[in-house]
A and B are shown apart, each in its own frame.
Chain A
Amino acid sequence: DAGVTQSPTHLIKTRGQQVTLRCSPKSGHDTVSWYQQALGQGPQFIFQYYEEEERQRGNFPDRFSGHQFPNYSSELNVNALLLGDSALYLCASSRYVGLAEALTEQYFGPGTRLTVT
């Protein structure tokens, strides 16, 4: 089992550009969540995708958007990049179980380090 994979590992972009980050969930998982982790801080929730729809969203502007594909993989897109978008972007996968929509344990990928200059 490859676990959660993310690409690319590192990325350098210029202010105003657009970026796309990719995530493949752990085998058997159908839910993907994205988090942003600034240096020295804990991860902050961006949004979550399940059944190809955005189900939950944190306090991030519309510049942050995403997509989930039929194979459960996901993309995070950020438009009009700002210097403050420089961070480690983490993808986590999990699986919905039961009527209570309880999530199983989340498994995190290695992250994509985005630097905006």
Chain B
Amino acid sequence: KQEVTQIPAALSVPEGENLVLNCSFTDSAIYNLQWFRQDPGKGLTSLLLIQSSQREQTSGRLNASLDKSSGRSTLYIAASQPGDSATYLCAVRPRTGRRALTFGSGTRLQVQP
């Protein structure tokens, strides 16, 4: 059974800092990995999707890397802003069996102005 773990569970940083969010998964047989942002009480906004054959994806100040063999992904946020405050979730899609997303519990990020 696939398990996804996100560390840390919560993070508070001053504005302007670069930061790294971590995601690990137990089964490397994945199709892709997706990072989402969730504002309180709201739905999920997809940030980056990395296919299993890729090593990283970039969008603006966000960079996500994937090391499938070690079961790890990181989300790097450059020059953090108060508007980045949200919960960040990673999810993996398995290559076999059910193809539904398996999510981690998220990292709750607060960027202090």
Interface on chain A toward B: helix, strand, loop, or mixed SS? strand
On chain B, the number of residues with a Cβ less than 8 Å from chain A's Cβ atoms is: 23
For B101, the chain A residues whose CB sits under 8 A away are 33, 35, 43, 45, 92, 106
Report how far A14 CA is from B30 CA in the complex, Å. Answer: 40
**Interface pair B46/A105, CB less than 8 Å apart:** yes
Inter-chain contact B34/A42, CB cutoff 8 Å: no
Interface residue A113 (Cβ < 8 Å from any Cβ of B): yes
Chain B CB within 10 A, most for which of A35, A92, A106? A106
| Number of interface residues, chain A, beta carbon within 8 A | 27
Do the beta carbons of B49 and A105 come within 8 Å of each other?
A: yes
**Complex CA–CA separation, A111 to B36 (angstroms):** 15
| Interchain CB contact (< 8 A) of A56 among B4, B34, B45, B98 | B98
* Count: A-B pairs, CB below 8 Å: 58
The residues of A that contact B98 with a CB separation of less than 8 Å are 45, 56, 58
Does B89 belong to the interface (CB within 8 Å)? yes
- In the bound complex, do residue A42 and residue B49 qualify as a contact, i.e. CB atoms below 8 Å apart? no
Question: Complex formed: what's the CA distance from A45 to B101 in Å?
Answer: 7
Q: Are B42 and A103 in contact (CB under 8 A)?
A: no
What is B's interface to A at a CB cutoff of 8 Å? 4, 31, 34, 36, 41-46, 49, 89, 91, 93, 98-106
A56-B99, A58-B98 are known contacts; what are 19 more A-B pairs with Cβ within 8 Å? A6-B43, A33-B100, A42-B4, A42-B106, A43-B89, A43-B91, A43-B101, A45-B98, A45-B101, A56-B100, A90-B43, A105-B46, A106-B34, A107-B46, A108-B43, A108-B44, A110-B42, A111-B43, A113-B41
